[in-house]
């Protein structure tokens, strides 16, 4: 009996939270207008209203275009930085290759010296 009561309470809590979360998610989906939409009565007012809206949108597009241009210059600079890093890295690898060749040569010379000393 106690287990049934606890189970029922847990189920009720779960249903409450699921319903509450659904309501919050749905509330986020709906767009609320930021300004009251007053329907203009004459055609001139409607045209002026639409011209204002188009002007706002064109300013927004201009701003977006400016941001995209800024991003393209940053991407170009990043590409140049990567190219410089790649060049520096290739120079370091070439220097290590030369040191590796010297190291192997010295080891072979020492091995030959030890083998010749043991054979005498």
Contacts of 40 (CB under 8 A, 6+ apart): 46, 48, 49
**What local confidence, expressed as pLDDT, does residue 97 receive?**
87
Contacts of 96 (CB under 8 A, 6+ apart): none
Structure tokens at 44: 């001139």
Structure tokens at 21: 């979360």
**What local confidence, expressed as pLDDT, does residue 53 receive?**
85
**What local confidence, expressed as pLDDT, does residue 21 receive?**
59
pTM above 0.75, yes or no: no
User: Each residue's pLDDT tens digit in the chain (120 positions)?
Assistant: 556 777 777 677 777 766 665 555 544 444 444 555 566 678 888 888 888 888 888 888 888 988 999 999 999 999 999 999 999 999 999 988 888 888 999 999 999 999 999 998
């Amino acid at each position: 009996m106690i287990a049934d009561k606890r189970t029922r309470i847990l189920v009720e809590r779960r249903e409450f939270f699921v319903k509450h979360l659904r309501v919050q998610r749905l509330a986020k989906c709906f767009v609320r207008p930021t300004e009251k939409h007053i329907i203009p009565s004459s055609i001139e007012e409607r045209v002026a209203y639409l011209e204002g809206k188009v002007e706002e949108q064109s300013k927004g597009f201009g701003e977006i275009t400016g941001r995209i241009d800024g991003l393209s210059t940053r991407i170009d600079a990043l590409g140049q930085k990567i190219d410089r890093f790649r060049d520096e890295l290739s120079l370091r690898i070439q220097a290590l290759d030369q040191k590796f060749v010297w190291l192997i040569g010295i080891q072979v010379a020492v091995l030959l010296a030890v083998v010749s000393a043991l054979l005498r």
